[in-house]
Structure formats: structure tokens, C-alpha cells
Chain A
Amino acid sequence: MAKILVDINVLLDDFLNRDVVCKELIDKLVESQSELFITASMAATLDYFLNKYEADKSEFKRKFFGRFKIITTSGFDALKALDFEDGEDALISLSFQRAVGEGIIITNDKGFPSNSVKVLTPKEALKQQDIFNNENNKTIPILDLKKQYYYLIEDIDNAVLKNIADAKYILGSQVKELEDKIAGYIGVKHCIGMSSGTEALVLSLRALAIKLKGQEYFDKTDGIITTPFTFTATGDAVLRAGATPVFVDIDPITYNIDPAEIRECLKSEIQNPKSKIRGIIPVHLYGKPCNMDEIMDIAKEYNLFVLEDVAQAFGGTWRDKKLGSIGTAGTFSFFPSKNLGGFGDGGMVSTNDDELAELMRMLLKHGGKDKYNVDHIGYNARLDTLQAAILLAKFKFIDEFNAKRRSIAEVYNKELSGIGGLVLPGNNSTPQLSNSLTQYFTNVHVYHQYTIRVLNGKRDSLQKHLKEKGIDTMVYYPVPLHKMEVFDGRCRVNGGLKESEKAVKEVLSLPMEPLVGQETIMKVVETIKSHQ
């Protein structure tokens, strides 16, 4: 999509001079998918004319900045701008170019310094149809992090600049603020920020080993049941905590760990005098909640901990309860591509257990209550204050973004339904009856991925076809964990894991950028339909 800065003279020609050309231009731009900007240095001029012509400023702000975004003007931009004859205009083009790279400035000012940015008059811009073309003429990515940044640019830039100026870079107030806000949102007593989702898993397991066994690590004879159809970090964390991952198969419809398979595993494991199952790590894969009723029943029956891996499912629910609030603890990832993603690595653990929370707070800063009284083998696993500041800015929009993901999934579900050889992931939210008909619950899928199954060996060919048409897709995951070298001789396998081994050959995740328009999704749909 085009990135366009509209100069003040064009905006005011539209709103106040009532210029017909500028009106047509602005209306067309607003209807298009193009990213529209002004710079912060333009705000003073805009403000002057809003006051002079007595505009309803709060309504103007709401309406105008619902579509136009403000690019921060930096001190560095200002220094460079002073090298130009018209420093004011140079400041605009320098800030714009820094923020977007390749873009277009639309202005009536013939002398506007281009600074290698394309400059057009409103009449010239109206003739360039590709500016208004809503179809992506380049690649459709799985996710568009730049688009998300532009959507939130004012909040994010403010958060970053403020954090840098505060100079509290390690465990600053934003970390606690984020922990408290997410704890309130999830519905737990404690949230503990971590340097990554992986460390969140490792430190949770270490804390569980200390609490349950009174030792730093689990033993190799301690088994932890989990799915092989997940990202390597889930199984890897079990190894790093000293235990042995015990892989059980998935449900072929949900792709999540199958509770029936967990039961089968426990029945056979219980016979094994050399091992003891300690816990279960259910992964809410792609954003879909696992069947937590059955998993928690099993855990209660066998006295196991449940560590929810919520890396892909922030904001999802089971029976109206937020994921991460149901098990003994929950782990989250703030990797940039996640539903709530930072600008680098980050993670979090949620729990109601005071002892586990205290242990994890020690483990993440080298294992002690303070630097010089260290009780445990610890890590440097703090969540950066800068990441926390960015996440606080993005957290305000998580429900909006998750709702957009569900809307996209509904379009895919509707438009791809009935195509032979494809299995779709199913409904957004499944009403769940309780035992009593007076209470009803909802399980909400937050679509971190929209993953289809392509039958009859055609997955790779469909992926290639989409790639040739400029549409990115991903295979999550191409190799189940029990087939990876790192787990060879270090895991136990229950049953044949047939469904996991089948899924890796058939799954394909489609573009799921929350901010794309329906036209983009329909292009994906039409391209899938055109595959022979």
C-alpha cells in the first residue's frame, strides 16, 4: 500500500477553500488502503487555522486522526533540515522519509524539497491510480508489522521516547504497570515479566521443581506430558528444567493435545516404576483453547501441575475464563508476531500461586532476593522496560486486534467453505453448555494463525501456487518435536503420534494481518480457488 503525506495546504484547500480537486483527492485517499500521514511539525500550522476558522477541535481530531497518522519529528531531523533553504518543508520531508522510507508527498507547493521522496500535486496524484488501488500489487505477507506500527505510531513513539528519557532501563515502573494490567485482564494474582516466552516456560518449570521437589531441577525420571506439534521451545523448556518430555498425540480437528491420549499415556506410565509424570503442558495452538475441563480433571485425578502455554493465544478464553488463569500457571510470549507482540523478545508468566511467583521473581534476576544473597541457580531473564513500555501502548488495542482477527477468520471460513480437499479450522467461538442451563460460557479462538489442512498431498503445491501469486504462507510446523535431533533419546513417546505426523504434512497457515482490508483476504481466497 502507498504511504502518503498530505501537505497542510492541500488539506486546507479541501476543508476551507472548498477546492474540488483536493476534495476528490482526499476522499479517494481516505477510501483507499493507503497509509496517510502528516508530521508532528505540521501540527502548529494546523492548530492555527483550526483556531482561526473556529473548528470543533476535539471532533476534528477524532475524525481526522482516525485516518491520518502523525509521524514524530526528531531533533536529528531538525538538525538536517537547517541545511535546507526552506527548513520547515525540509523537516516534513526528512521526518516522513525517515519513518516510511519510500513514500509520496502531495502538495501544491512547487518548491517543496523532495529529498528523494516523490512529490506530486493533487492533480498529478489523482492521475496515479496505483495510489488508490486497494489490491496489493506486491506481496501479501502473513503479517505486516509496519502496518501495525503505523496504526499505533503516536502511542508507540511516545512510549519509546518517554522511556529513553526516563533512563530507567532495567525493571522500570512500566514493567510493574504491565504486569498489573495483564494480571487484571487475565484474572490472576501475579504476572511476572520475562525476557521471552521460552524463558517464561523454563523459569515456570524451574520454580515448580523447587516447590514440588525441593531441588533446583527435575530429574530425568520426571515426565512432563506435552504435544509434539508445537514450537520447539515447549519441549526444549522441559529438557532445560531437567525433566523428560512425554509426547502424546493431538486431536486432528483442533490440533491441540488430545485429552484422551493424555489419559492413555497416564494409564501406561503409571505402570512404569522408573518414571513419574509430574505435569502437563497444554499448548493453545494457533490461538485455539485446549479442552481445559478434561485436562484439569485429569490433572486433579493424577495430582499433576498444568502449565498452560498461551504463547499463541493471548486474550483467548475457555468457558469465559482467560487462558493462563486456569492451570497452575500460564506462560506468554511477546515475540513481535504474537497477538500481543513487542519490538523484540518478551514474555510473561501468570499464576495465582504466591510461592511460585516469588520463586520466579528470584530466578529471573540471578536466583536471589537481591544481588548478593543468591539462593538458586538463576538467569538473566528480565523483561526490558522499553519492551514493557511498548507493550503497554499496544495492550490497549488487544481486544480490537483480536476481534479483527476473528472477522478475517469468518471471511475465510465463509469463502473457503465447500472447497474440496481443504479442512478449515472451524468456528470462532464455541458456545459451551454448562451442566446447569442457567450459565453459558464461550470459548474464544484468537486466531494467532488461520491454519487450513490441505489433503491429498497437495499442501506444497498450493503453497507454491500462492507464493507465485505473491501470497506468503507458513507451515507451522513442518517437523514434530519427537523427530528433532535434540529430543532423540531425551523424550518418551506415547502411541504412534500418527495425527501429529500427518498434520505436519498437511497444515498451511494463511495471511492473518488484523489490519488488512477484505479485498486483500478475497485475493487470497480467489488464489486458493484458482489452484488446480
Chain B
Amino acid sequence: MKVKAVLKGDRLYFTQRIVLKTSEVEVDVEVPDEAVQTVEPKGFSEELRSLFKKTPNAKVDWKRQWYKHLEEKYNG
């Protein structure tokens, strides 16, 4: 059966007491175009990779480079 509801903000309130037989209901609405996005989601690694402006030209030995940095920093 049809019942009336009032839209307040993004909530719908029924105007009479009802018993819902399911925890989901379908409502016929129009979704504005700007709400629909079809951007392909990036993976975690890709997202983080995209945050670096520079990348090394060749494969780096990270431990060696870190120790070199420490030596330069503390040995002057």
C-alpha cells in the first residue's frame, strides 16, 4: 500500500505509524548528474606512488642511502 512521508533534509519521515517488514525500502528518486562519478578507483600503492614528485632513476638500496645520509649529517 502507499503511505505518505515528508522529506526533511536527507531524512524521510512517515506521516503515520507503520510496521516495516524489511530493514530496506526502495524510493523512486532522481539523482542529479553531478552525483554520479565513474572514476576508476586507484589501488593503495598507485595512490601513494602518485604522491611523489620525484622518483629514483635506478633501483635504490634504501639502507645504504639512509646510512650515507646519517654519515653526512653527523660527520659534517
A residues at B contact (CB < 8 Å):
8-9, 12-18, 23, 26-27, 30-31, 45, 48-49, 52-56, 59-60, 63-64, 67, 109, 410, 413-414, 417, 427-428, 431, 433, 437, 440
Contacts and interface: CB of A to CB of B under 8 A. Distances in A.
Interface-central residue, B24, B55, B62, by most chain A CB under 10 Å: B62
B76 interface: no
Contact of B60 (A17, A56, A428): A17
B44 A16 contact: no
B23 A53 contact: no
Contacts of B32: none
A16 B60 contact: yes
Contacts, number: 82
B5 to A, nearest CB: 10
A15 B52 contact: yes
B48 interface: yes
A273 B21 CA distance: 48
- The residue among B14, B22, B44 with the most chain A CB atoms within 10 A of its own CB is B44
| A interface SS class | helix
A17 B45 contact: no
A55 B17 contact: no
A498 B8 CA distance: 42
Contact of A12 (B14, B53, B60): B60
Interface of B: 6, 8, 11, 13-15, 17, 20, 22-24, 43-45, 47-49, 51-56, 59-60, 62-63, 66, 69
Contact of A63 (B11, B14, B51, B56): B51
A27 B13 contact: no
A414 B23 contact: yes
10 contacts: A14-B45, A16-B60, A17-B56, A53-B53, A60-B48, A63-B48, A109-B63, A417-B23, A431-B14, A433-B15
Contact of B8 (A16, A17, A440): A440
A53 B59 CA distance: 14
Contact of B51 (A26, A56, A414): A56
B72 to A, nearest CB: 11
B44 to A, nearest CB: 4
Contacts of A63: 44, 47-48, 51
A54 B59 contact: no
Given A49-B62, A109-B63, A414-B24, A30 B44 contact: yes
B52 A55 contact: yes
B53 A55 contact: yes
Contacts of B43: 27
Contacts of A18: 49, 55
Nearest 9 CB-CB pairs, A to B? A54-B53, A30-B44, A440-B13, A53-B54, A56-B51, A23-B45, A9-B62, A53-B52, A55-B52
